[in-house]
Structure 1
Amino acid sequence: MVRRIAMLLSATLVLATGCGVDEDEVVRLKEGSDLSDTPYCGSLGCADPFRYCAELFLDFGRSPPLCVVDNICDRLECVKEGRTCAVFNGFPGQVKCID
């Protein structure tokens, strides 16, 4: 019985946190750009005070929290035409496309 409850709770957690990204919000790297110089966030945020923690909304899902700079959208483009890359504050923040 305990095993069934544990499995049910695990499945619920996966369903609740495993939501994909809406295709209208997807960003991708511009040609010639990469994120190789972008460190992951720690539990307390970013060591560099000029970077902040944010998830990128990519076509395969959200990225792990990365330490990005304010102009991260200069390196990204929206998959859908007519949308604009935007950065939303929070911990972690979100980088996605909006109308």
Structure 2
Amino acid sequence: MSWPIRGFLAAAALVVLTSCGVSEDEVVQIREGQTLGSPDRTLFQCSTLGCQFADEACLEVFFEYGRSPALCLTLDVCQRLQCAKEGNECAIFDGFPGQVKCIKPR
């Protein structure tokens, strides 16, 4: 295998390995007595077309063991979650899929 190809493969592997992790500051936990999904709806994974209901978005949740698959969640999901690190706040970041993780408050 030539050196340029090895370099490309090494760089690609580094990008994949560093993009999957969740830092301690970003970890969210489900509040006691709560569920991740809405109580009146079944929790679905996102499709390429998005979510079934208009008030849902495709979101990855940053748990301590890693990111969840993209799930259809209502935008009030942060009310059912808490941050593992005290003092941080739950936030939703735009994108497809979006990200639900904790951040340091300003």
Q: What TM-score bracket applies, with the shorter chain setting the length?
A: 0.7 to 0.9
Partner of 1:39: 44
* TM-score, length-scaled by structure 2: 0.77
CA distance in 1, matches of 2:11, 2:68: 21
Partner of 1:59: 64
Could you tell me which runs of 5 or more consecutive residues in structure 2 were left unpaired when the two chains were aligned. none
RMSD between superposed Cα atoms in Å = 2.1
Runs of 4+ in 1 over 3 A off after TM superposition: 11-15
Are the structure 2 counterparts of residues 12 and 33 from structure 1 closer, same or farther at C-alpha, using a change threshold of 3 Å? farther
* TM-score, length-scaled by structure 1: 0.81
Partner of 2:15: 16
Are the structure 2 counterparts of residues 44 and 17 from structure 1 closer, same or farther at C-alpha, using a change threshold of 3 Å? farther
Partner of 1:97: 102
Matched residue type, 1:88: F
